[in-house]
Chain A
């Protein structure tokens, strides 16, 4: 059974940093692109980042480019999102997702609140 479990969320002040983790199991992690998607409270879904199988290629929307960094450790079947220079508009639930034909499997999400 595919499982994705996010961790690392919490309350952080504007301008500070936070690192999210996603532990994957139930599939060969190194064979899949992985992604982060977020959802602000009562809002829609926003794709945040994608990383290739080896980690050599990464993709971001303009809203987070230069502030967020996606990475992975295939030996540990883990995905990460380093978030720097956080803003109030980054407040959201962050989901880890496995990319295949589409983003077919999602974690339960982790809440990040950016507030002073």
Chain B
């Protein structure tokens, strides 16, 4: 099974700051067939379902603000949120869907400082 190591566990930020969340996979998520990384990022606000932010490591889902940026390839991935807004306070998860069993990172809680 592919293990997803996500860090940090929590992050306290002020509005307007930039934050980075990291996810490291135990195996490469890069498909040699189509050169895509099968890594997605989700945002989950309290009491809500997870919302897809980024897929294929760096493609923003329709309607997601451009302050959310996904990067990385192979085994190391980053979600960057520039100019954090109060509405961005939530839990964030990475997901590998390269191979079954699909596995999520443990999550990162973004809180207000």
**B-contacting residues of A (Cβ < 8 Å)?**
35, 37, 44-47, 50, 59-62, 95, 99, 101-109
Question: Which has the most chain B C-beta neighbours within 10 Å: A37, A95, A99?
Answer: A37
Q: Which of B10-18, B51-59, B80-88 contacts A (4 or more CB under 8 A)?
A: B51-59
B50 contacts A101, CB within 8 Å?
no
Interface size on B, residues (CB 8 A): 24
CA A51 – CA B95 in complex, angstroms?
A: 18
B-side interface mostly: loop
A-side interface mostly: strand
A50 contacts B104, CB within 8 Å?
no
Question: Beta-carbon contacts of B49-90 to A below 8 Å, as 1s and 0s?
Answer: 111100110010100000000000000000000000000000
* Residue in chain B with minimal CB distance to A104: B52
CA A53 – CA B42 in complex, angstroms?
A: 24
CA A18 – CA B31 in complex, angstroms?
A: 37
CB of B28 within 8 Å of the partner chain: no
B101 contacts A45, CB within 8 Å?
no
